[in-house]
Amino acid sequence: MSAPAPDFALQLAHVARKFGPQFVLRDVSLDVRPGEVLALYGGNGAGKTTLLRVVAGLLSPSRGEGRVFGYDLKDKRSVRELVFFMTEGGGLYADLTAAENLDFTARMYGLAPHSAELLGRVGLTAAAGKRARDLSSGMRKRLQLARMLLAPSPLLLLDEPFANLDAGGKEAVLTHLRAAQGEGKTILFSSHEPELAAQVATRTLTLNDGVLA
């Protein structure tokens, strides 16, 4: 895929998304330049996860339009090649070990497996042989973080990256987000912890009743 070189990593124009008769996103417009790190705040049910899923190409807008590095959100295949989406509790193969999860992900991206190095970077060396289903919620989050480090995607989407982590895990997330920012990646993440998010975000947004404030 040969992507255009737009001025914006992400553009949303009057995006809405409903489930049945209920609108979760009502009128979301947003321009994000390459290299920005955006923190997305909002209470439970505000629509943060839905917005991330729309940007990731997993949900289609009910109305409005959007582009990721110039590609229309309707072009789901191209969008998914440009985006890495770290979901809360998802993205792992439960019956594979931590190392096998990373090796599989590496091969998916056409990369040589190097799980030992990645597990060391996220503090999971001792868990290399454990199946993902047997890891604690915090350890699974660290394993997801290791998958993010593998991804060549220029746009990173993270749903509550600090959730279920101890202080050391939260600091690791901040460290790796800063590293990704240093590589020029664009990052959009949701969080209920503004004091942590503010340490890495270049801009903050609040989603309230399906509208960005």
- Res. 2: pLDDT tops 50: no
Alpha carbon separation from 175 to 121, 180, 182 (Å, rounded): 10, 9, 11
pLDDT band at 1 (very low <50, low <70, confident <90, very high): very low
Whole-prediction pTM value?
0.92
Instruction: State the average pLDDT over residues 137-163.
Output: 93
| Cβ-based burial of 165 (10 A; exposed 0-12, middle 13-18, buried ≥19) | buried
Instruction: State the average pLDDT over residues 109-130.
Output: 94
pLDDT band at 45 (very low <50, low <70, confident <90, very high): confident
Give the pLDDT confidence score for residue 48 in this predicted structure: 95
Q: Return d(Cα 161, Cα 147) in angstroms, integer.
A: 13
Give the pLDDT confidence score for residue 5 in this predicted structure: 52
Instruction: State the average pLDDT over residues 119-145.
Output: 94
> In three state form, how does the secondary structure of the chain look?
CCCCCCCCCEEEEEEEEEECCEEEEEEEEEEECCCCEEEEECCCCCCHHHHHHHHCCCCCCCEEEEEECCEECCCHHHHHHHEEEECCCCCCCCCCEHHHHHHHHHHHCCCCCCHHHHHHHCCCHHHCCCEHHHCCHHHHHHHHHHHHHHCCCCEEEEECCCCCCCHHHHHHHHHHHHHHHHCCCEEEEECCCHHHHCCCCCEEEEEECCEEC
- Res. 88: pLDDT tops 80: no
Instruction: State the average pLDDT over residues 162-175.
Output: 91
- Res. 164: pLDDT tops 90: no
Average pLDDT, the chain: 93
pLDDT band at 11 (very low <50, low <70, confident <90, very high): very high
pLDDT band at 97 (very low <50, low <70, confident <90, very high): very high
Instruction: State the average pLDDT over residues 59-84.
Output: 95
Q: Are 52 and 85 in contact (CB under 8 A)?
A: yes
- Res. 165: pLDDT tops 90: no
Q: Return d(Cα 135, Cα 131) in angstroms, integer.
A: 7
